[in-house]
Structure 1
């Protein structure tokens, strides 16, 4: 009998949005590979133990190019229906003129360079009809920035969006779907306790939007309700 289960790779799947995304795909019958940054036990390990072999935990510090290359080699025989990169840090709401250079570099490397490097290097593992997604934010939208604030975080998400646009242009004939996903304002460590949504309210919509667009080539910037986010 042919195994028709689909496979997702979720990068940074150990907590909040990444963990929720992993759990939702497992609930939908997928096999999932989830990455953690180090050897510490996380909720992803608990989920893997309960998954009856459908969730595999891999180690990846995605800011380290050698680790990305090593993961690509370990997964060389796998075919992915979805590659999703979940990564974001913030270092406070500091006016850009006061941001230390090392903090600027850290946020840009984590939020923009590293996710697109993962996309570039792991793209060959994704099936031609598959999807590649990154967790973006409406704060990366230039058109929607009417109030300012969170200068560095906004800039890093705008940079991520632009780098994904570059990727889409470079591979214009590619049949894979490219997605910039805005999960909404979610109650996470980054979103804070006053955010509008819980992970449980955001993630099913994120997955539904991914699945609705998977198989549709081109780059799409969408929110968790499937609405287009202005760039």
Structure 2
């Protein structure tokens, strides 16, 4: 199991929900954090709480729909000289629930793909080569188990694109000690999931973060966070490493 003490992790969407839970959990394991949100004010309190746990932390801001801001955020991290070892591409948007899905506006797809797919791809493409050159890295891309809901087709399609990108890239990482995997938090009571979701946001721990700790050099896995609820981190890692990557069927 990977020891993350002293390593640096970037968490997008860290100010609330699943990202917040991930940030606190990782800090408790001794991991230093880069906390992303749309505004520095959104992570101000969290940053103080994280630092009180004895680890280093700083915040960055970017509206992920604005790809120039994504570039500037990555430039800032690079200028600071932070060796990003772990990435949680957690931030996402679910634009709307379109009952009349035949009239889903193109703008839904454009915004969903920029935030849920293109921004994570930009982050991966900037940071993964540096991980490879240093000989260590873990990327966890947050996906969704949503299916058969054309009412949310823009969101679902953007997550499907992220799944495809992750699995294809996984095929090139063997032997690098850099791993990329997918994690699904499940339907949780968050701003995105809504108040009627069956799972508390706390239930994502430790499953949503287990991809940072697996150490068997296998990428392309899918980790359903709800399947790890209530486990210790050690138990979760053993279970995660027993899973195989879901093969393509077409």
Normalization by structure 2: what TM-score? Answer: 0.77
Give the aligned partner of residue 191 of structure 1. Answer: 193
Contact 1:32 1:56 (C-alpha < 8 Å) held by counterparts? yes
Contact 1:181 1:222 (C-alpha < 8 Å) held by counterparts? yes
Give the aligned partner of residue 14 of structure 1. Answer: 15
CA distance in 2, matches of 1:4, 1:86: 21
Give the aligned partner of residue 111 of structure 1. Answer: 116
Q: Which has the higher helix share?
A: 2
Normalization by structure 1: what TM-score? Answer: 0.82
Q: CA deviation at 1:169?
A: 4.0
Q: CA deviation at 1:205?
A: 2.3
Contact 1:78 1:125 (C-alpha < 8 Å) held by counterparts? no
TM-align CA RMSD: 2.7
Contact 1:186 1:199 (C-alpha < 8 Å) held by counterparts? yes
Match of 1:64 among 63, 66, 79: 66
CA distance in 2, matches of 1:74, 1:206: 26
The residue correspondences of 1:35-184 to structure 2 (distance < 5 A) are 35-42=36-43, 43-48=45-50, 50-52=52-54, 54-76=56-78, 77-94=81-98, 95-126=100-131, 127-139=134-146, 145=147, 149-169=151-171, 174-184=176-186
SS at 2:91's partner residue?
coil
Contact 2:5 2:30 (C-alpha < 8 Å) held by counterparts? no
Q: Which has the higher strand share?
A: 1
The structure 1 segments of at least 4 consecutive aligned residues displaced by more than 6 Å after TM superposition are none
Contact 1:108 1:156 (C-alpha < 8 Å) held by counterparts? yes
SS at 1:122's partner residue?
helix
CA distance in 1, matches of 2:149, 2:122: 31
Question: What whole-Å deviation, never above 9, does each CA across 1:135-173 have from its counterpart, x for those lacking one?
Answer: 11112xxxxx35654222221211111122333345566
Structure 1: runs of 5 or more not aligned = 140-144
How many residues align? The count is 223
Contact 1:69 1:121 (C-alpha < 8 Å) held by counterparts? no
